[in-house]
Amino acid sequence: MPKWVTSRQILATARYRPDPPRIATPAAGPPPKDNVTRRPTPPMIIDCHGHYTTAPEAHQLFRKAQLAHFAKPSGAAPAPSAIGDDQIRESVEGNQLRLIRERGADMTLFSPRASAMAHHEGDERVSQSWTRACNDLIKRVVDLFPENFAGVCQLPQSPGAPIANSVAELRRCVLELGFVGCNLNPDPSGGHWTAAPLTDRSWYPFYEAMVELDVPAMIHVSSSCNPNFHATGAHYINADTTAFMQFIEGDLFKDFPSLRFVIPHGGGAVPYHWGRYRGLADMLKRPPLVRHVMKNVWFDTCVYHQPGIDLLFEVIAIDNILFGSEMVGAVRGIDPETGHYFDDTKRYVDALDLSAEDQLKVFELNARRVYPRLDKALKAAGR
């Protein structure tokens, strides 16, 4: 069981309630103070990384029909499948929701299944239609379980399509559906890496919209059509590492000081090679990473064993870590060494025996800072 509360710890953390929601330099400097006395309860557990991997089969059948129509067009393009509320309830209650309750989480940032985004399949029109259906389904999950899920959207990216074309769907999801973030694919080609680096100006129209809407992006590739890269075993981790190195090389956060990215899967290889990255920044005459990158980048805790989590918390500042599990995702089995699910990452974080203050940051406050629209919605609901 987590050791949340001693009265002294509660007193010590009372001042760490984030307000205002808009943040200039989120990870730097002391956290904002306010006069709100924090309630003497455990932190809200916010899982920043959940995908709807268990969507009803009918949804995937639509995708199949859509791609079949693209390959051999005849008649009108297929429409999204009709899916009943009961089907959605069932798909979530026996899976994510059950696990969330068993593992003791409160709120999951929920986005369409990452491997199914498959921006490299079909064309931009197909991607638009698929993305819209995926995001609409997330909205229905959120509406059915508003206390447990907040929406994060997929984008209608497509190889060669300008990222500006994804802004409308971002706006729709944030402004009309109430979503709090998005997943940005740095490689819509699915393992051929034909797009420009994330620091290239071609991405700027999208960053401008992110800043205006005050939403972060999780950098998340999809499946790989390059046989060299297993999706969850190589492509995901490589993309995380690649994005971080692009940020070191570039000067993106000078142009967008309030842009915020979550690099999932514990930051790819970065924390393990933190010395290499500090040294490379130095060799490339970049400022130290804490100033150059880490005011705008957060890592999640999707690292599926204790020594990895230990390392993450040893080298990365607590203000830059968001709790995440990607549960019912890449690795679904039970670790024979522990007898627990590999992706039950809360166990690993609990085992760190963090101070109450640090627990509060990792499980709740950092997420509220990175996702101010989530913070606002939670506050509006009195949470």
Residues that bind its own copies (CB under 8 A): 186-187, 191-193, 195-197, 226-230, 232-234, 237-238, 241-242, 245-246, 248-249, 265-266, 268-269, 271-280, 282-283, 303-308, 310-311, 314-315, 330-333, 335, 337, 342-343
| 292 vs 373 by CB, closer to its own copies | 292
Task: Report phi then psi at 150, rounded to 5.
Answer: -125, 145
Structure tokens belonging to residue 243: 């994005």
Closest CB 87 distance from its own copies, rounded Å: 26
| 38 vs 230 by CB, closer to its own copies | 230
Closest CB 236 distance from its own copies, rounded Å: 9
Measured in Å, how far apart are the chain's first and last C-alpha atoms? Answer: 23
Rounded to whole angstroms, the Cα distance separating 142 from 147 reads: 8
Rounded to whole angstroms, the Cα distance separating 330 from 240 reads: 15
| 4 vs 204 by CB, closer to its own copies | 204
What's the order of all strands across the beta sheet hosting 181-184? 46-52, 107-112, 149-153, 181-184, 217-219, 261-263, 297-300, 321-322
| 172 vs 192 by CB, closer to its own copies | 192
Rounded to whole angstroms, the Cα distance separating 15 from 11 reads: 8
- Note the helical H segments in 183-235: 204-213
Compute and round to an integer the Cα radius of gyration of the chain: 20
Per-residue CA distances from 221 to 119, 142, 197, 200, 239 (Å):
9, 23, 13, 17, 7
Rounded to whole angstroms, the Cα distance separating 281 from 293 reads: 10
Residue 53's H or E segment, with its range, is: none
Closest CB 145 distance from its own copies, rounded Å: 27
Which residues are annotated as catalytic?
326
Closest CB 318 distance from its own copies, rounded Å: 15
| 4 vs 274 by CB, closer to its own copies | 274
Closest CB 333 distance from its own copies, rounded Å: 5
